[in-house]
Amino acid sequence: MNLLVLVAQTLFPYAVRTDPAPGLLRSKAESRSLHCEWLSLSEAERRQPGRLTPVRARGDYAEREVMLCEQQLLAAGTRAPGEDAILASLDATVTALANRTDSLGLDDRVWMVEANHPSAQVASKIAFATKNALMGGGLRVTDRSPTLSAGDVDVITRLGPEESYAAACKRYADNGSLRPGDALLAVMVRDRRETALHSGVCTEGNWAWLR
């Protein structure tokens, strides 16, 4: 009997599977498919109502934090890993970007957004999310896009990333598609292997990297 209790106590942590780390009953692939985040008790209570004991009126006797692990919506391999890495954290990325843009003090401008990614579908997602984040920050945003002539495109695509965005910015201002009251926020990956998004701002023909 005692041996049974001992074995049960030993296996209990594995049986209840509260820890997202791989172990006896959870493979590495299974652990990788989880999306885990630390939450405060109040946030966890809001997200998973009824599953936690709320903080008592006079406080708890111990500091409590919650790690919430949920299955990722799309299984690994459903889409390209590079795209998945960008899209999985898109909301946090564009929110940080909008905060940074907001801090530039260009509130009087009308903002255009341009996104560059090897996948047009992902680029469209990035642009959509960025526009919403800028609107959320109280900025005026337009769906207009600055344009380049075929000759400009031919020249600019031969330049490296450092020069090409600055050159495009100048051409946008010169051809009038980026007006004096406009500002352009460009979001891009500079190398198709990277999963971080870079950004820069173009105002009146002047290009500045934000990130």
Applying CB under 8 A, which residues contact other proteins? 1, 35, 47, 49-51, 53-54, 70-75, 77-79, 83, 87-91, 110, 119, 121-122, 124-125, 128-129, 131-133, 135-136, 140-145, 147, 149-150, 175
Instruction: Please say which residue, 141 or 202, places its beta carbon nearer to other proteins.
Output: 141
Exposure string of 116-133, with b = 16+ CB inside 10 Å and e = fewer, is bbebeebbebbbebbbbb
Sole residue written with tokens 């260009």: 106
Ranges of H-type helices in 63-119: 81-88, 90-102
State CA 92 to chain mean position distance. 4
For the CB of residue 2, give the shortest distance to other proteins in the complex, in Å: 12
Instruction: Please say which residue, 119 or 164, places its beta carbon nearer to other proteins.
Output: 119
Q: Which residues contact 189 (CB under 8 A, 6 or more apart)?
A: 86, 116, 117, 118, 195, 196, 197, 198
3-state secondary structure at position 185: strand
Instruction: Please say which residue, 77 or 105, places its beta carbon nearer to other proteins.
Output: 77
For the CB of residue 74, give the shortest distance to other proteins in the complex, in Å: 5
Instruction: Please say which residue, 88 or 104, places its beta carbon nearer to other proteins.
Output: 88
Instruction: Give the other-Cβ count within 10 Å of 115's Cβ.
Output: 22
For the CB of residue 199, give the shortest distance to other proteins in the complex, in Å: 18
For the CB of residue 144, give the shortest distance to other proteins in the complex, in Å: 5
